[in-house]
Amino acid sequence: MKKKTNLRWWGLWLAISFVVAGAVYAGLDSLGNPRPGKADLVLRSWLLPGQTSHGHYQIELACTACHAGAFPSRDDVQAKCESCHAKDLKAVDDSHPRAKFTDPRNADRAALLDATYCVTCHVEHKPGITRGAGVTLPQDYCVICHKDVAKERPSHQGMAFTSCTDAGCHNYHDNTALYEDFLVRHAGVGRMQDEPKVLARNLREVIEELGDYPSETYPPVELARADADAGTALPAADTVHEDWAASAHARSGVNCSACHVPAAQHGSDVATATWVEKPTEKACVQCHGPEVEGFLAGLHGMRLKAGLPAMTPAEARRPMKAERQHEALSCTSCHAGHRFDTRRAAVEACASCHDDTHTRAYFASPHARTVEAAAPETAVTCATCHLPRVAHDTPDFVRRTLVDHAQGKSLNPPVKMARQVCLACHGLGYAIDALADPVLRADNFPHAPTRHVKSIDMAVAREGEARAAKATQAESADKDGRS
Amino acid sequence: MKTHFKLPLGAAAIAVGLGCATPAMAAGWSYQQIADALHAVMESDRTVYTRLIVNRLQNQEKVIKASEHWKDEKALVLPAQMFRFGAEMVAEKNAGFSYALLSEWPVNKQNAPKTEVEKEGLKAIAATGKPFYKEETLGGKTYFTAVYPDKAVAKACISCHNDHKDSPRTDFKMGDVMGGVVLRLPM
């Protein structure tokens, strides 16, 4: 007798298949969702194959920020790396650009170390082998190409392979503060520069030269409390007006509507225009474009850029204060509206969340004492070093001072800070020595460095030898000429 | 050289060499002709830069210096750097070929000849003053490699190399072969 097919089993099989296929599809779809919800984030956290590095953990749940898609090629991932990092590498004149390794003459080296891809040296989700700056290669990677360095530089004979980068002499990418002629040029300066000071902020002075500044609607003319263009919406005694009237915004013609009304409606009747109660960085970017770009590229804002909910201190890996654990970081976390007090933003705001040894030690450090002296260009706050003032060229060819909010840029390796930050006040040698000492860094530089990095001495000695050799050569040529 | 190389490198060479983009004309160019055409553009552009910008403004008018550290010293880019930056930009564009400026007396030791063909080529051009062509295999790929003599065309070239502390040779004179442009076309 023929066996009957049991339709119920077939039905169950179909139902299970449908559910499994649906779950896989929903999972893949969720991974690519640019605005993930809670369920998406939970699913992604289950799928994380291992802890990410200190530079990427904030965005580790935005899978496609690095992986491009569900099954990316190596080139797709590389394009993602470059979308965030290429500009900075270009700016520091990367010592090992990709082109060096795509050149066929270096094919033998590229076979040993394929540095045409970032992930050759920086593999993510590998906490066990991840070192500073997210490097996952064994420490002897310099040797692959530079094992003969002592032939060209006898002074390097016998140096340990771990000392190339660890001693504060070389970086793989950024050597703008470490190249030989720069060392020679900055030799001989001791602890302090003759005129220690940082750049003065000057946005107010260059507003009219900036093509993308809304100076037609908000000309840089000082406004009084009575000029506030949302004046009637708030009671007269409200501190909002008071704070705004005391701010740089009021002094520079930036009225309430500039931030609280969407840009497309600027200039229209404020009474009927859309009123944005809590403006985001999308309002700030209208006048502070490069600052916002830095914030979104930095450790505080990178989650927003990746489409994730804002970073909170609770998610940080560094010690943070308990009472601020759930503060969602935005521009106003540090620059509290409506006063936008940059002094508060430079120290108090940082210490309201950060609770590590370095932050706590700041208040008793020699740097903190410079704040009491009160001249803004010589005061050393948290921001002076971690959000440094740099000369920035706008697309309109206007050079203005930018407070670089991408604070991760100069953190690692620490010696990157020597040029962009320390050199404004200190001699280069002093800065290199100080930055090379991890204990001194952690304690927030309570005293002068006790260790010495010999790079400047070596560069100066080599310069002297070259000059002496040239003089001898000229002398013998002179003798030959006379004889 | 019998081998003929058609699109797209031929098209690139014509586009670069003749300043127009008519790929149909590319058919029938030999590797050597393509290499020669590319080199003609490179050499001419750099000579123009060396003579009309660096030599004129630095050595004759003395209004601005050219320096290896041009950004820090607010100076002109050295002609060799201008050439190298161009080569890097070409590499970034994945243009299909590569080139580099090498020398038996390099300021930067990474620019010393490394492959057998580079060593042979640089010796040959220094002796004859004429281009050198050879096939070579690097990283499992075969290339048509052309080496062109790079001569001192301006005082700026010799003064910089003769005075540089890292230069292994300090007696260059005008017209000397100082190094070579190594151009590689994948075959």
Task: Read off the pLDDT of residues A362-375 as tens digits, 9 standing for 90 and up.
Answer: 999 999 999 887 67
Nearest residue to A266 via CA among A287, A296, A289: A287
Our CA-based measurement puts residue A381 at a distance from the nearest CA of chain B, in whole angstroms, of 27
Asked if residues B78 and B70 have their Cβ atoms less than 8 Å apart, the reply is yes
Which residue of A90, A98, A101, A105 is the best one to mutate when testing the B interface, meaning the one whose CB has the most B CBs within 10 A?
A105
Note the pTM of the prediction, 2 decimals. 0.87
Residue B148 belongs to some domain of the structure: yes
Task: Check A111 against B87: CB less than 8 A apart.
Answer: no
Assess if residue B3 is contained within a domain.
Answer: no
Looking at the predicted complex, does its ipTM rise above 0.90?
A: no
The answer as to whether A129 is a domain residue is yes
User: Given a cut of 90, is residue A82 above it in pLDDT?
Assistant: yes
Interface of B to A at Cβ within 8 Å reads 68-69, 71-72, 87-88, 91-92, 98, 100, 109, 114-115, 118, 138-141, 143, 163, 165, 170, 182, 184, 186
Say how far apart CA A160 and CA A478 lie, in whole Å.
Answer: 43
Q: Is residue A87 part of a domain?
A: yes
What pLDDT, on the 0 to 100 scale, is given for residue B6?
Answer: 47
Residue B29 lies in a domain: yes
- The answer as to whether A90 is a domain residue is yes
Cβ B118–A103 below 8 Å, yes or no? no
Find tokens 């004979």 and name the residue.
A157
Task: Quick: pLDDT tens for A242-285.
Answer: 999 999 999 999 999 999 999 999 988 888 999 999 999 999 99
B2 inside domain: no
**At A246, which amino acid appears?**
A
Kindly state whether residue B4 falls inside one of the protein's structural domains: no
In a domain, A58, yes or no: yes
Q: Is residue A21 part of a domain?
A: no
Query: Do A473 and B170 meet the contact criterion of CB atoms below 8 Å apart?
Result: yes
Give the tens place of pLDDT for each residue, A103-144. Answer: 999 999 999 999 999 999 999 999 999 998 999 999 899 998
A-to-B residue pairs, Cβ atoms closer than 8 angstroms? 49
Domain count, chain B: 1
Give the angle B16-A79-B111 at the CA atoms, nearest 5°: 55
A97: containing domain: 44-148
In a domain, A367, yes or no: no
Position A347 in a domain: no
Residues of B with Cβ-Cβ distance to A111 under 8 angstroms:
139
Q: Is the dihedral of CA A216, A220, A222, A225 positive or negative?
A: positive
Question: Residue B79: which domain range?
Answer: 9-186
Joined tokens for residue B135: 């096939």
pLDDT tens-digit readout, A164-197: 987 789 999 999 999 999 999 999 999 999 999 9
Nearest C-alpha of chain A: how many angstroms from B170? 9
Instruction: For chain A, give the percent of residues with pLDDT over 90.
Output: 70
Determine, yes or no, domain membership for A317.
Answer: no
Q: Count how many domains chain A has.
A: 1
Q: Strand B98-102 and strand A399-403: pairing? A: unpaired
Spatial distance between the Cα atoms of A408 and A378, rounded to a whole number of angstroms: 23
